Structures are given as C-alpha cells and as structure tokens.
Structure 1
Amino acid sequence: MRAKLEDGKGQNDAGVASGLTENDLASKLQQLKCHFTWSLLKKDVDIDALEERLHSQLQFPVTKFKYLMYNLLAYVIHLKGDLTNAISNLKKAEENIKEKNPDGIDRKYLVTFGDYAWMYYQLKQYEDSQNYIDKIDKINKGLKLLSNESQDIAEIYGEQGWSLLTFSGKYCKKAKECFAKALEVDPENPEWNSGYATAVYRWEGYYGAICSASECKSLPLLKRAIELNPNDAVVKALLALKLQDLDRADEGRNYVEEALEQAPDSPYLLRYVAMFYRKAGLVDEALRVLKTALDLTPKSSFIHHQMGLCYKQKILDKKEIFRRENIQNRQMCMGETEIMKTAILHFQKAVEYKKTFIFAYIQLAKMYSIATEYRRADDTYKKVLTFPNLTDEEKQQIHFSYGRFEQCNKKSESEAIKHYKKGFQINEKNRYRDGCETGLRRMAELKFQRDPSDALGFGLLGFVYKNNGKTSKAIEYYENALQYDPNNEEYLTDLCDLKKMI
C-alpha cells in the first residue's frame, strides 16, 4: 500500500516521513549493502546453533572487529523475530566502532546503519528508517571527496565475506569472492587476508573436495595472512592442518605449538589443534585439548563432533590391532563398550545442538553400525536424507555412506547399488563421488566373479561410463548387458539416449 504521511517532524499512524511512500522507502532499502541484502537465508542454517556460536565468539573473539559479530548477531536475532533485541545489538556494534575508531572513519558504520534502516522499516518506524538512509548517503558523499573513494567497498565486502563465512558453510564460495574483492581495494588489510585464506582453506576441504599440493591455493594465502598478522593463532592452526594434509606434519607441528602459546584458552584454536593431533594419531592428546575447549563452550556442536570422532578412532584402532594379530571371534570388552557409548553420546549431542549438522548425522549413523545397532543406523540415514535444502555435496556424502552401510553391514547389494548410483549421478568431483564409482565397479567385479555373463555387472559399468561422459564405452557395456537381459527397460532407455547423443 502506498501510504503517504502528512507534513511534519513527527510520525503519523502510517509511520512514513513527509511525502515519502512506503514503496519508495522499500526501494531505497534494496539498494543498501548490509545483511538484509546479502541473501543470508534462514533455511540454510540452524538459527539457534548460530546464535549460540556468535555469543561464544563475542566471549572468545575470532576477529578484533567485534562490531562485525554484533551486526551479524543482530541480523540472526531479527530472523527469530526479536527486533528489539536485534536493535540492542546494533547499538553495541555502533558503540564498538566508536570505541575502536578514534579517528572517526565513517565507512565502518555503513553496514550497521543499513541494518538499522531495515530493522526500523520492519517495525514500521519509517521516519527512523529514512534517517539512517540519510546518514549512509552523507557518509558516501563524504567518501567521494576523498582521494581514495573506494575504501568503503573494501570495508563492506570484508564484512560481507566474514558474515557469509560465519553464517553457513554453504556460503563458503561466496565468502571467498567477497574477501577477494575487498583485497583488490585494500590488499594489505590483515583481517581480510585472514578471512580470504580461511575461506579458500575451507573451500578446498569442504565436502571432501580433492586438492593436491600443486592445486592447493590456500597454503600461500595462509602464510601471507600470518605474515600480516602474526598474532592470528587460529590461522596458524589452519596452516598447520594444511601442511599436515600435504604430508608436512612436522612443519605444521611448529605452527601448532606457536598458536597454543599465543591463545591457550581460545576454544576456536583448541578445536583445530585437536584435529591436528587426531589426524597425527595422538587421540588422547586430542581429547585432552577438546575437553578443555568443551569446558569453555559446552554447547559447541563442532567440539562434540570432534570428540565423537576421537572416541570412534579409539574403537577403530582396537579393531585394527585385533586384525593385525589375527584374533578371531573376540568378545567386546567392557572398556570398549563404554568408549562406543561415549562416541555415540557425543555425536548425539552434536546433532542436538546443531540440528542441521549433516556430517555429525552421518558419523552417528556410522557409529550405530559399528555398535551393530543397524536399525538406528538405518533410521538415521533415512532421516538425514529427508532434510530440506541439502547441497549436492551433502547428498553425495550421505548416499556414499549409506551405500557402504547397505553393502558391508546389511549385505544388501541392491540397496547399496541404489545409493551408489544416486551419489555418483551428482556431478560434483570429490572423494565421495569417487567412492560411489569405486563401489559400483567393485559390485560389477563381484558379479563377474560369480558369473562372467551377469547382465547387471555390464549394466553397472555402462552406467559408470555414461555418467563419466565416455559414450562409446557406455554403449559397449549396455549392448553386452542387453545380450543377457534383452528386455531390461533401463538398459534399453540408456542405450537409446546414448546413441542419440552420437
């Protein structure tokens, strides 16, 4: 509705400033650069878990710019419908900018004022909303008078990158792009360099993406970030993990020790230190560090997940010892039973505190299968597959893990093949897609071992080659499959489609 306001200094019932329509104001708001225009969607996050994490990060800061956290926290609280509390956090952001900004660099206020304008608009306090738009216009006009008039862009893109990176792992690629834009304008900024290096590091490792030493872009970026900010202990831990991934663990250990000296009480450092120890086989040391971190942030789903992984590793290590020593038909000892229960408990806590934690659900299902609680494992896989807004990579990982469970634990070849196919059809190159392909090929090998003329074996290989874009090979295998199963509709359809492509 195009409600107009009467002339005057105050607000009338409609709440719009003199001569200004609600739609005009809405149009101006859409032009602002702030959390409300950055597509930070509620459906992509566990909102309660994110709010808890932001409160923890304010207590144990991961960036020296606290106003960034207050701004994002305000937006998150607004998503929960509490606009009054949201505005209270914007005021804290504004106070933090004033405290840390004695030179009065106005560009730091741009995102905060944009969020204010949106908040007041949603409260139907349109005159207040317009006042903040006017403040933004004034800052922008002042910046244009400066010789380096683009500095505001660096601040905005830097904050956008940080918000995306913190909000959801699904936004990692967008965050990387925002930090890159910020660095085009302000290449020496330590915060944006740390953010960019972190985003690239996460992007390389997210969902099991494959990154060889020659393809690794995060390593020089992490080193650069540390050169610009030697006190960034968390980035040092990420560098240590990257070096470990590249078989340079000894070098990485030095960075771990430096980081621990700098920030021994930071839970965000400790969790990465624990990851380094666990991957190095130092599971007890990893657990010691994680318990310290858990005391500081008891509702951290990340830390519970990492503790679950450590206890799971203890079980797998025991199994490997018995396998090497060729001990058959062993009975599970009491200590092992308790370790298994503890692992399950921590994974359960992880999904309790973050209800969209896909990786933790998968690990919980795996732990149930190790404990031979197959029904609970099956129910967990089924549950997580019903989640809305799963990414392609998440679907791949679930289907790969579910397929392994069906093949190795339930001994169901047909169900395993179904899940391997679904994961493999998603064309995202990572280790989970590779795992699905390996599963299908092994299934075909097993079929041929039993019967060299098994149509399903040929059909599976035809499916693999088709989805790898090797048309002629796929046609060959489908034609072989149809020799032994001439009426199979799936093979006939796929073969027809492949010949049309040629």
Structure 2
Amino acid sequence: MGENAGADQVKKSLLQLSCHFTWSLFFEDADIPDLEMRISEQVEFLDIKGPVGMHNLLAYVRHLKGQNEEALQSLREAEALARREQLGKRSVVTWGNCAWVHYHMGSLAEAQSYLDKVEKTCKEFASPFRYRMECAEMHCEEGWALLKCGGQNYRRALACFTKALEAEPENPEYNTGYAVAAYRQDFDDNNISLGPLRKAVMLNPADPYIKVYLALKLQDTGDTDEAERHIEEALSSTSCQTYVFRYAAKYYRRKGCIDKALQLLRKALQTSPNSGYLHFQIGLCYRQQMIQLKTSRNTLSRRQGSMQEMAQLAICEFQKTVELRPTFDVVYVCMAEVHAEIHQYEEAEANFQIALNMQNLTGHRKQDIHLRYGRYQQFHQKSEDKAITHYLKGLKIEEKSYAWRKLLIALEKVAERRVQQNVRPVESISLLGLVHKLKGNMPEALLYYEKALRLTREMNPEF
C-alpha cells in the first residue's frame, strides 16, 4: 500500500512540472523515426542554437520508443551542457524530464531527488509554484519543442514565443523563435512573418539560418534584390550549412534556377542522406523540370520521353520522402499530380486518397488537398461534378486561407462556364449565388438565388 501511495504522490508532483512530458507535444507514432532523425540533425548541424532543448526533446522521443536508458543518456548530455553554459532556470526542464523517466523506470527515489532539485530552484527564483516557473526561458523552451514537432503545434509555439517576448522584447533568441513560428504559420498571403523576420535578422546579424527564412519571405513579396542579398550572405557563412543549403535551394527552385537548387540539395544530402525534406525538395525540382518540358518547344516525341524521365525521377524522390515521413500530406498530393501528368491515373487516385483520408490536418492543409484533387477531377478526369463536390468540401472548412480563396475562384469559374453552356442551370446559378455570399456580396448573391428560384418555377409550374 505504502509503495502505491508513494507512486501516486510522486505522479501528482510530476504532473505539476513544466517539461516535455507535460507540454502535450503532438505528433503521430509513424513520425517518430523521422522526428528523431531531425532532432539529431539539429544537434549536429544547427550550431548557432544551444542544443540543450534538442537533447531534452530527443530524450522524450526515446522514452516514447521504450528506450529509457538512451533517454537518460540524452538528459545527461543536456545537464552537462546546461551546467557549462550556466543556463540556471532552463535546467528545470531537464530535471523535470529526468524525474519522469526515472518514474517510468520504477525508480521513485531518483524521481523524487530530481523533483527536489526543481523545487529548490523554483524557491531560489521565488516562483509562486512548487514545481514550475512561469518565465520567458520556460516559454522559449516549450516554443522550440513545439516548433520541432510539426504543423499541429505551430500555433501554440507562436503563443509561447509571444509570452517570452512580453518579458524581453529585444531578446535575440526569443525573436528568432517567434519569427520562425510566424513564418511557419504564414500560409496566407498576409505576410505576418515579414516584420518579425526583419527584426530577428537585425538582432542576430551573424545567424545565416534566420536570413534564409527572410530571403524566402522577401521572395514571396517580390523584393527580389533584398532577398538575393540575404541568400548570398547566408551562403557565404560557414555555420548551419546543411540548413542554409536546403532553404537556399528552395529559393533558387522558386526562382527557376533548378540546376543551382539541385546542386545545393545534393550537397546537403551528403550530410543528411535520410532527410525526408531534402528528398521532397529534390522531387519538386524534377517536377518543375517536367513542367518546363511540357511547355517547351522541343519536338513532341523528344519532349514526351524527357517528361516521362523527369516524372519518374520526381516520383522516386517523393516515394523516398513518404518512406521517411509517412504523414507528410503534401508529398502524396505532389506525387499524385506527377502521376496524372503522365496518365498514370490509378496511381494518382491512390495517392490523392491517402492525402484525403489523413487525420489531424490543419484547416488550410485540408483545403489545399480538396483544391488540388478538384482540379485533378476537372482537368484530368473531365468530371466537373466531382470537382465541384471537392471545391465545396474545401470551402466548408472555415479558415480564410490562401487555399480557401483559390477554391472560391475555381468554383466561380466552373459555375460560370456551366451557366453559359446551360448545364444544370438552376444548380449552376445557385452555386454563383453561394460564391457571392461567401465573398460577402449579399445583394449579388440574392439576385442569383432569385434567378434560380424563377427558373425552378418556370421548369416546374406546380412548384
């Protein structure tokens, strides 16, 4: 009885900690191998950021895999680093994780000794809580952990860095975290990350990692000269090269310099051969080359042969990506679109279905999948009905994103054409009513709905 009561008491204390075990980090089990690899990469190659947080996250991931001994090894490395860099308050996260791992291993006394260390530090810094501190350093640690664990955590990561900045608005690390989180949330074209990225670069002038993010954002907004300058500065730095290469490659691919992009990606691949992100970017380069061939003036037979070849190279890279990152939804969609271009419709359909059936995606990701599947149905399968169904499904998701606006345009175009061609006029006119309603043009919407009603009456007088 005594032992159980002791375990319950320790568990009660553990739940009050602020650490990786209590932060509700969200990711799928299928993502664990890739996440572990990406954390290890960051420890090794992102040499401007203290790796203490990543050792902590690695420990948590290893615990989830049932490797508690290895988890403790990662935590010992984190402890040693924190001591060396005199990180004071941040050690509380490491000790909290140690307490949890020991508890899971059944070592209650060890768990309690780490809880005591946390309590002592909380007293030292006059925290009103027995086992945690509400401070900028803690918010920052939680922010980085959330950011590393993928899309469903980004909004909360942004909130953590916001809290950290309220305490220290000019802190370089908190500004970097906030800017990266804002960039990852910047899936609309309202450019919420531009200001934060500029500030982060100003506060971290020697950090090439944040410069490449700013360059990509400036490329989005059309400030190409300034973007180019930041890319060149980042590439001339010797730190974080693996990261600089992968983001600079994205910049050059979007600029249309595919050879330059591929050259950088292959360099990055030498140090990170199992990076799903790198294989995805290489696949996108081949896909772009395939699209360039499609519109080029080469003779038809030569063009088709080369297109097939590029398509196969792209598909091969996308397949490698999903082997490494099974829940990376956008890759299945890109792969499906390449299959469609070379008329492999069964494979295209299968990949679209994987993406359409994925759980736990954010609203704008789901909208993007419905948009692209709708286009596939409309232009490759010549099924406007199925296209309309998916445009409507995407629009039902109430998140006003870039994809949402694209869905609205796609639906409007197809409805207008159907009205002109007199295809199911009542339904098509009603769709235009809906489009105007969603745009916020109520008088226009009413006109269309009234027109649809009039037509219904003409067609069915008894109505």
Q: Could you tell me which amino acid in structure 2 is paired with residue 70 of structure 1?
A: H
CA contact (8 A) 1:151 1:185 kept: no
CA contact (8 A) 2:161 2:177 kept: yes
Q: Give the distance between the partners of 1:121 and 1:470, measured in 2 at CA.
A: 60
Give the structure 1 partner of residue 394 of structure 2. Answer: 423
* 1:149-228 correspondence to structure 2 within 5 Å: 153-204=135-186, 206=187, 209-211=188-190, 216-228=191-203
Give the structure 1 partner of residue 42 of structure 2. Answer: 57
Give the structure 2 partner of residue 121 of structure 1. Answer: 103
* 1:31-110 correspondence to structure 2 within 5 Å: 31-43=16-28, 46-61=31-46, 63-101=48-86, 105-110=87-92
Give the structure 1 partner of residue 289 of structure 2. Answer: 314
SS at match of 2:135: helix
Structure 1 length as normaliser, TM-score?
0.85
Q: Of 251, 264, 267, which residue of structure 1 is paired with 2:226?
A: 251
Q: Deviations over 1:303-334 (max 9, x none)?
A: 11111111111121222233xx9x7x656343
Q: Point out where structure 2 has 5 or more consecutive residues left out of the alignment.
A: none
SS at match of 1:231: coil
Q: Give the distance between the partners of 1:393 and 1:217, measured in 2 at CA.
A: 16
Q: Give the distance between the partners of 2:7 and 2:278, measured in 1 at CA.
A: 46
SS at match of 2:90: helix
Q: Point out where structure 1 has 5 or more consecutive residues left out of the alignment.
A: 6-13, 15-19, 493-502
Q: Displacement, 1:227?
A: 2.5
Q: Displacement, 1:228?
A: 2.3
* 1:96-495 correspondence to structure 2 within 5 Å: 96-101=81-86, 105-144=87-126, 153-204=135-186, 206=187, 209-211=188-190, 216-263=191-238, 266-322=241-297, 332-451=303-422, 454-468=425-439, 473-485=444-456
Q: Could you tell me which amino acid in structure 2 is paired with residue 425 of structure 1?
A: K
SS at match of 1:65: coil
Task: Identify if the C-alpha distance between structure 1 residues 37 and 453 changes in structure 2 by more than 3 Å, giving closer, same or farther.
Answer: closer
How much identity, in percent, do the aligned residues show? Answer: 38
Q: Give the distance between the partners of 2:313 and 2:351, measured in 1 at CA.
A: 18
CA contact (8 A) 1:277 1:283 kept: yes
Q: Give the distance between the partners of 2:100 and 2:316, measured in 1 at CA.
A: 42
CA contact (8 A) 1:447 1:456 kept: no
CA contact (8 A) 1:107 1:152 kept: no
Q: Displacement, 1:151?
A: 8.9
Q: Could you tell me which amino acid in structure 1 is paired with residue 332 of structure 2?
A: Y
Q: Which has the higher contact order (CA 8 A, sep 6+)?
A: 2
Task: Identify if the C-alpha distance between structure 1 residues 410 and 120 changes in structure 2 by more than 3 Å, giving closer, same or farther.
Answer: same
Q: Give the distance between the partners of 2:214 and 2:326, measured in 1 at CA.
A: 29
CA contact (8 A) 1:403 1:419 kept: yes
Q: Displacement, 1:296?
A: 1.3
**Superposition RMSD in Å:** 2.5
SS at match of 1:40: coil
Q: Could you tell me which amino acid in structure 2 is paired with residue 167 of structure 1?
A: C
Q: Deviations over 1:73-128 (max 9, x none)?
A: 11111222222221221111111112222xxx421211001111112222232222
SS at match of 1:436: helix
Q: Displacement, 1:159?
A: 0.6
SS at match of 1:144: coil
Q: Give the distance between the partners of 1:140 and 1:189, measured in 2 at CA.
A: 23
